[in-house]
Structure 1
Amino acid sequence: MTGEPNSGAEGHWRALERLYSSAPVNSKFASSLEVTGEGAARITFDITEDVFHAAGAAHGTVYFKMLDDAAFYAANTLVTDRFLLTTSFNLHFTKPVRDGTIIAEGRWVSGRRRVFVAESRLIDGEGDEIGRGTGTFMKSRIPLSGLPGYAE
C-alpha cells in the first residue's frame, strides 16, 4: 500500500464504504459502515420504532441485516476484484433492543480464495452483546469496479 489515501488497501476500504452507502436498501436504515482494517468492519445503526415488531423491540430482520453486512464487509476487505455473496448465515439472538445505537462488529475468520468465513456481533448502547452470527461468503462473478458506488 502506498501513502496515497485512495490507493491500495485504504482505497479499497473507502470504496467498500461508498458501496454500502450507495445500496438502495441502506436508505431505509439509519446506518453507516466503517472498514476498520483488513478483515474488520463496523456498522453503526440507530434503532427507531419503524423497525419494531408488534411487541415493541427491533425485529430480527434488523439483527440479521446488521450481522450479515458487518461480516460480509469484513470478508470483502480481503477481495479487491469481486463482490462476495452470502451463501449461509447462522445467528443467535441474546437480548432485545428497543432504542438507541447498536454497533455491528464484523471479523474475517478464514478463507482467502473463493469461500470466506466471517463472524459478527451486535453491541447495544450499554455495551451488552445482543446478537452474534457467522456467515459463509463466496466470490461472485460480479466485478466490484462495475458496481455503482464502488468507484468514485
Structure 2
Amino acid sequence: MPPDLAGEEAHFRALESLYNSAPINDGFVSKLEIVEAGVARIRFDVEDRHFHAAGAAHGTLYFKMMDDAAFYACNSRVSDRFLLTTAFNLMFTKPLRPGPAIAEGCWISGKRRVLIGEARLIDSEGEEAARGTGTFMRSNIALAGLPGYRDS
C-alpha cells in the first residue's frame, strides 16, 4: 500500500520541528529539510567559533552535521520511534572554512531494527569536505511523546 502522502509530509515537518527543538542546535546556525523519505539536508554556517587552533572547523562540527543528516534521513523512514546512533565512521577530505555548507544525508538500507545511512559535507565552493556512514537503531522512545516532535 502506498504511504499516505499527508501523513508522510506531516512526519517530515514534525522531524524538522524536533531538530529545531534540540538544545544542542542553539549553538549553530542551521536548518534541516527532509527532502523526501530517506533524504535529509542540513544547511549550516561554518563560523570562526567552530575552529580549532589551526584555523579550520573542528571535527566535532563535521560529526554533528553528518550524524544529524544521516540520522534524520533514516528517521524519515521510521514514523513511530526515535532512532539512536550506534556507530558513525567519518572521513575528512578537506578543511571547512567560514561560510555556508551543506550536510546531505541519505538512507541506505534497513527497515526494522537497524538502519544504515550515509552523509557528506559540501563546502561553500561546492566541493566535498567529508563523508561518513552511520548505523541507527530503533529505540523504545516514541516520537509522538517527544515535546519537539509535532505536526506543523
TM-score computed with the length of structure 2 as normaliser: 0.95
User: What residue in structure 2 maps to residue 49 of structure 1?
Assistant: 48
Q: Provide the identity percentage.
A: 64
Per-residue deviation at 1:2?
5.2
User: What residue in structure 2 maps to residue 36 of structure 1?
Assistant: 35
Structure 2 Cα separation of the partners of residues 151 and 34 of structure 1: 15
User: What residue in structure 2 maps to residue 60 of structure 1?
Assistant: 59
Tell me the alpha carbon deviations over residues 29-50 of structure 1, each in whole angstroms, 9 at most, x when there is no partner: 1111000001000001101111
Gaps of 5+ in 1: none
Structure 2 Cα separation of the partners of residues 88 and 20 of structure 1: 20
- How many pairs align? 149
Tell me if 1:18 matches 2:14. no
Deviating runs (4+, > 6 A) in structure 1?
A: none
User: What residue in structure 1 maps to residue 74 of structure 2?
Assistant: 75
**1:71 partner letter:** A
Per-residue deviation at 1:151?
1.7
Structure 2 Cα separation of the partners of residues 98 and 151 of structure 1: 35
Structure 2 Cα separation of the partners of residues 79 and 107 of structure 1: 13
Structure 2 Cα separation of the partners of residues 77 and 84 of structure 1: 10
Structure 1 Cα separation of the partners of residues 54 and 29 of structure 2: 21
Structure 1 Cα separation of the partners of residues 144 and 93 of structure 2: 38
**2:122 partner letter:** I
User: What residue in structure 2 maps to residue 117 of structure 1?
Assistant: 116
Structure 2 Cα separation of the partners of residues 86 and 108 of structure 1: 13
User: What residue in structure 2 maps to residue 135 of structure 1?
Assistant: 134
Tell me the alpha carbon deviations over residues 76-115 of structure 1, each in whole angstroms, 9 at most, x when there is no partner: 0110000000000000000001111110000000000010
Structure 1 Cα separation of the partners of residues 111 and 27 of structure 2: 32
